[in-house]
Amino acid sequence: MIVTVTLNAALDVTYRIDQVHWNGVNRVQDLHRRAGGKGVNVARVLAALGHDVLVTGLAGGPTGRAVELDLTASALPHSLTPIGDDSRTTLAVTGSSGTALFNELGPRVTREELVRFLDGFAGALTGAAAVVISGSLPRGVPADFYATLAAHAADRGIPALVDADGEALRRASAGRPAIVKPNLEELARAFPADALGPESQAGLMRKAGAAAVVVSLGHDGLLAVTAEGTWRARMPYRVAGNPTGAGDAFVAGLAMGVVEGMPWPERLRLAAALGAAAVAMPVAGEIDHGTFQAVHRQINVS
């Protein structure tokens, strides 16, 4: 079983409207609501690939309830710790003129709620082959919380994968995660006044405790800096579509590679192909199997 952690679980709402009146009244004819947040998307991809998953994190209020109902409807096993504040909604309004995204600030989490989450997390680790810790920290969660979670897993010999940003990313390595996965922008934010390239920055993260660092380079593939060496995976061509969720599919591939004990080149090819297959789908958490197969065999890892 792979445990995913989504502290800032969201209800992802999409309104499709042909002609949006940005100063007027719009009737929403096509409405989609689904559980979201990066860890949830990772779990969807893993479940679609046949892996047992457990979605953990925090959920509160009516929006948290909607998240749980959708996880149940999606047959994704979940154990979300209740919080007092309402979980966040993310809204995408898609029309002929483009897509406007509205991201709510999300809940404020109390110390007591975090303690309850940690209790549940310790229980969820029993029987876990890997832990995936992804996404933003809600207000009230300390910046080193992902390091704390990764350290709990490391203490029990369970590999943790961390996909974070900002201060949470900067501190993650201290928890001795198996893999930290930033993209180029996140890496630049984590090392703000730094002229080093991604390979050196990944090296610094490894020195700080991460066993491996995999940097996603968008359409250019990825860079992995590991104890066994440094690899570069190059994509055969550019897949058109929606990059939202590509990083999550990519992380799902890395997690799968870890639990199945794949060698690094194979692991990276799987992860990069899943990322491309997610770009081909309009919704995060889904992958296009045709794209996966077409891309997978052509990825060059060196």
What are the residues binding its own copies (CB under 8 A)?
15, 17, 20-29, 31, 33, 61-63, 65-66, 69, 86, 91, 93, 97-105
Neighbours of 79 (CB within 10 A): 15
* DSSP bridge pairs for 215: 223
Q: Which residues pair with 216 in a beta bridge?
A: 183, 222
Cβ proximity to its own copies: between 32 and 289 the closer is 32
Closest CB 113 distance from its own copies, rounded Å: 19
- Residue closer to its own copies (CB basis): 13 or 149: 13
CB of 89 to its own copies, least distance (A): 8
**Degrees, nearest 5: CA angle 223-275-176:** 50
Compare residues 16 and 234 and give the one whose CB is closer to its own copies.
Answer: 16
Count Cβ neighbours within 10 Å for each residue of 107-138 and write b for 16 or more, e otherwise: bebeeebbeebeeebeebbeebebbbbbbbbb
Structure tokens at 138: 């809600």
Paired tokens of 229: 């060496």
Least Å distance, CB 283 to its own copies, is 17
* Distance (Å, whole) CA 17 – CA 31: 9
Taking the complex as a whole, how short is the minimal distance between the CB of residue 14 and its own copies, in angstroms?
Answer: 12
Shorter beta-carbon distance to its own copies: residue 33 or 152: 33
Find the shortest distance in angstroms from Cβ 146 to its own copies: 22
Alpha carbons 43 and 5: distance in angstroms, whole number: 9
Q: Which of 99, 52, 98 is nearest to 77 (CA)?
A: 52
Output the smallest distance, CB 27 to its own copies, in A: 6
Nearest to 246 by CA among 238, 159, 226: 238
Looking at the Cβ atoms of 107 and 159, the one nearer to its own copies is 107
Instruction: Specify which residues 180 forms β-bridges with.
Output: 162, 213
Nearer to its own copies, 63 or 183 (CB): 63
